Structure formats: structure tokens, C-alpha cells
Amino acid sequence: MNVAGKISPMALADRAKRAAKVAAEFADQVDKEGRFPAEGMEALKQERLLGVMIAPENGGEGASLIEVADICTILGQACSATAMTYAMHQIQIASLADHAIGSEWHANFQRRICDEQLLIASATSEAGIGGNLRNSLCAIEEEGGIARLEKDATVISYGANSDAIMVTSRRHPDAAHSDQVATVFLKDQFTLERTTVWDTLGMRGTCSDGFIFKAEAPAEQILPRPFAEIAAQSMLAVSHLLWGALWYGIAADAFARAQSFVKAAARKTPGQVPPGALRLSEASSLLQLVKANVVAGLKQFDECKGNEDALNAMSFSVAMNNVKIGTSQTILTIINHCMLICGIAGYKNGTPFSLGRHLRDAHSAQLMISNDRILGNTSTMLLVNKQDTSLLG
């Protein structure tokens, strides 16, 4: 936290809570219609929360990832589509803030994000590659200082509503699939031709349609550092942590609903413990596990931040992967417990105890970067990396 842009975590959380109130009002509608959470995102802009993680010298407030994760949890309790859009935007911000140092264009761009509260999307998935972030088929073609790119992007979350998109590609047409760069393209520099529509079980408001992305921009908009470094040192860890924080938020809201259900039952039958009470305490224990997992991950990230060796260490990747696996699996168990507690009132839409949206949204957690893929990566690393068995280390 710096002196110039001094802002207390409470102040950020208060602003997030005001935005969350708006987002919550439209959460069911956004889910039902599968539309962009426009009201929630507009409220976040009004609270000027889009550029908070950017350094003060570039117009931001220098907020830490822990503070941004707290905002994600607050939003997750209100509207998961707003929370996920905000989290994905912040993942791009983290990459820019930490990996575009020394580039004047990117410094100016960060100032614009703060001034104009721009929303940044990302295009990493590609037809023929699937979800493997660290591979690209498409390549930047550079000529006379102009970078051209065409990408068959299978998923660009809120792409049609974004002000800029950060796109991964091979560095040049002769580069290996893993020799990637990330480039920022502004809204007036790209066209999107929709190829698939995001009609899904849950997380319906992220509008993660597929597009043929075509763009042309000055080559200075390519991030100076290789994407391999950005992915390893920032993107993967920040994704797991911010997603974990908002998933915790979804489960926490489900828990709050189940708790009020049990409380209402207890009031009606004084002297008797309602049948759902025991299961509620089980869910409480699981919720605490999820919280502890996310907070421990955030603390570890905070301790490693700025230390390239620590961020590149296998043990760090294993720990971040474990945060993702643990949270994404456990929230499903928690929300299922809450459903058993609330019964038909939880199963039905439109009651104060409705949990259908929570359960459907939570199912996306184990799929966005497939848990099987992550477990596969971790198992490879565990062939050589010794698990940290200490309590505090």
C-alpha cells in the first residue's frame, strides 16, 4: 500500500458492497436471459473499481491481489457473472501491471483503463488447441511496425462487451507453438465474427461466445515479456486465486441461505433443533476449509510477489493448482449440503432459499481449466517436487 493512493481495504470493500447490491438485484435476470451483467459492471465502473490494482503512477490505487480477491468474494455472493467478469478483467490487469513494465504504450493504456474504466477481455482458447493456454496456432504477422492477427477463438468471455482484448499468439509465423506473446488490441482495432453462442448450464452471464477475431494494431502493443513468463508468474496463479475467492463467495451465499432456512425452522419449533442444523454445521466446516485454502494461497502469492525464482518454483505451481482443485471441488459439496437443508424451497426458483443458480454456476469451477488437466500437471511435477509437509512453511 502506498501513501499517494492511500485507500484502506475497508473503503474498497465498501465500494464493492455498493456495487454488489446492484449486481444482486439483476443476478437472476442475467442468469435466466444469459446476458451480460450490464448493471453490475456499470456499478463497478461507477465505484471506479476496474483499475484499482494498477500502480498509482499509472493512475490506479495500487491495491493488492488480496484486496481484489476480497472484492471478488463480495461480488460472488451477489452475482457470479459480475464476479467472474470482474475477476477475469483483473487477471488481465495483473498481467499488464507486472509484465508490461518499461513499455510506454502499456503504461498509457493502464492510465486509460483507470480514467475511462475500460473493461479488458482475454482470448487464449483457440480452435485446434482447446484450453491449453500455453499453446497457440495463430501467429502475429509484423510488417512496417504494424502487427496483424487472426484467431479462431473458441471462447472470448464478454468479448462483445469489452473495450480491449488481450490475445495470445505465436510470436511470428515460424515460431514454435509454445513461443507465445500477448498483445492488447483496442475495440476500434479488431472485429469479432461470432461462431458459437454461450448457452450453458451455469455462468450464463459471462457470455463466453466464440469468435473469429481479426485485428491490426501498432506492434508496440505486443507485451514486451514472453507469454510463457506471464502465464507462469502471474496469469495462472492470479486466475486460481481470484476464481477461488469468487467461488468461495458463491458457496458463502448458498450457506447464508441455508442458515436462514434453518433459523426460520428453529423459530417455528422452539425447543427443538431443526433437522437441517447438523448438516449446516458440516457445511460450515467445509466453507471454512475453502476460505482457509484461498487465504493461504493469497498469502503465499503475496510473499512470492516480485521474486521471480519463487514464482517460477514448482512448489508454488503445485500450491496454486491445489487451491484451484480444492475450492472447485468443495464448493459443490457445500452447495449440495445447502440444497439438502433447504429442500424443495432450495430446488425451486424464486424463493429466498433458491440454490439452483448457485449450484449450476458452481459446476463451471471444475471445468474452467479442467481439473483433470490441472491434476495431470500437478502429478507430473510431483514426480520430482517434494510436497511441502511443514505446517507453517
Partner 1 sequence: MNDTIRGLLAKHGNLPVAVTDVADAADLYDAGLSSFASVQVMLALEEEFDIEFPEHLLNRKSFSSIEAIEGAVSEILEEQAA
Report the nearest approach of partner 1 to the CB of residue 143 (Å).
22
Burial class (CB in 10 A: 0-12, 13-18, 19+), 16: buried
Q: Pick the piece of the chain touching partner 1 (CB under 8 A) from 43-51, 155-163, 168-176, 202-210.
A: 168-176
- What CA–CA distance (Å, rounded) separates 18 from 224? 37
Interaction of residue 380 with partner 1, rule CB under 8 A: yes
Map residues 220-259 to x or -, x wherever contact with partner 1 holds by CB under 8 A: ------x-x---x---------------------------
- What CA–CA distance (Å, rounded) separates 245 from 239? 10
Which grid cell sits at 216? 491490426
Question: What's the distance, Cα to Cα, between the start and end of the chain in Å?
Answer: 25
What part of residues 261-280 is at the interface with partner 1 (CB under 8 A)?
none
Strands 190-196 and 164-170: unpaired
Interaction of residue 292 with partner 1, rule CB under 8 A: no
Q: Pick the piece of the chain touching partner 1 (CB under 8 A) from 53-61, 92-100, 203-211, 305-313.
A: 305-313
Nearer to partner 1, 151 or 170 (CB): 170
Report the nearest approach of partner 1 to the CB of residue 217 (Å).
23
- What CA–CA distance (Å, rounded) separates 193 from 71? 33
Interaction of residue 177 with partner 1, rule CB under 8 A: yes
Buried b / exposed e over 175-191, threshold 16 CB at 10 Å, is: eeeebbbbbbbbeebbe
Question: Among 7, 314, 340, 375, which residue interacts with partner 1 (rule: CB under 8 A)?
Answer: 314
- What CA–CA distance (Å, rounded) separates 372 from 375? 5
Question: Among 8, 281, 312, 349, which residue interacts with partner 1 (rule: CB under 8 A)?
Answer: 312
Report the nearest approach of partner 1 to the CB of residue 179 (Å).
4
Question: Among 8, 29, 46, 178, which residue interacts with partner 1 (rule: CB under 8 A)?
Answer: 178
Q: Pick the piece of the chain touching partner 1 (CB under 8 A) from 9-17, 115-123, 136-144, 378-386.
A: 378-386
Cβ-Cβ contacts under 8 Å for 54 (sequence gap 6 or more): 60, 61, 62, 93, 96, 97, 110, 113, 114
Interaction of residue 174 with partner 1, rule CB under 8 A: no
What part of residues 97-156 is at the interface with partner 1 (CB under 8 A)?
134
Angle at 42 between CA 37 and CA 44, to 5 degrees: 100
Report the nearest approach of partner 1 to the CB of residue 185 (Å).
23
Interaction of residue 260 with partner 1, rule CB under 8 A: no
Interaction of residue 4 with partner 1, rule CB under 8 A: no
Interaction of residue 5 with partner 1, rule CB under 8 A: no
Report the nearest approach of partner 1 to the CB of residue 380 (Å).
5
Report the nearest approach of partner 1 to the CB of residue 386 (Å).
7
Judge contact between 121 and 182, C-beta under 8 A: no
Interaction of residue 179 with partner 1, rule CB under 8 A: yes
102: left (phi over 0), alpha (psi -120 to 50) or beta: left
Nearer to partner 1, 383 or 391 (CB): 383
What part of residues 353-372 is at the interface with partner 1 (CB under 8 A)?
none
Which of 37, 29, 23, 70 is CA-nearest to residue 357?
A: 29
Report the nearest approach of partner 1 to the CB of residue 215 (Å).
23
Question: Among 10, 384, 391, 392, which residue interacts with partner 1 (rule: CB under 8 A)?
Answer: 384
Cβ count near 363 (within 10 Å): 17
Q: Pick the piece of the chain touching partner 1 (CB under 8 A) from 116-124, 292-300, 312-320, 330-338.
A: 312-320
Interaction of residue 309 with partner 1, rule CB under 8 A: yes
Count of residues interacting with partner 1 (CB under 8 A)? 23
Distances (CA, A) of 176 to 127, 136, 137, 169, 225: 17, 9, 9, 10, 16
Burial class (CB in 10 A: 0-12, 13-18, 19+), 386: exposed
- What CA–CA distance (Å, rounded) separates 159 from 195? 12
Which residue ranges make up the site for partner 1 (CB under 8 A)?
134, 171, 175-179, 226, 228, 232, 308-309, 312-315, 377, 380-381, 383-386
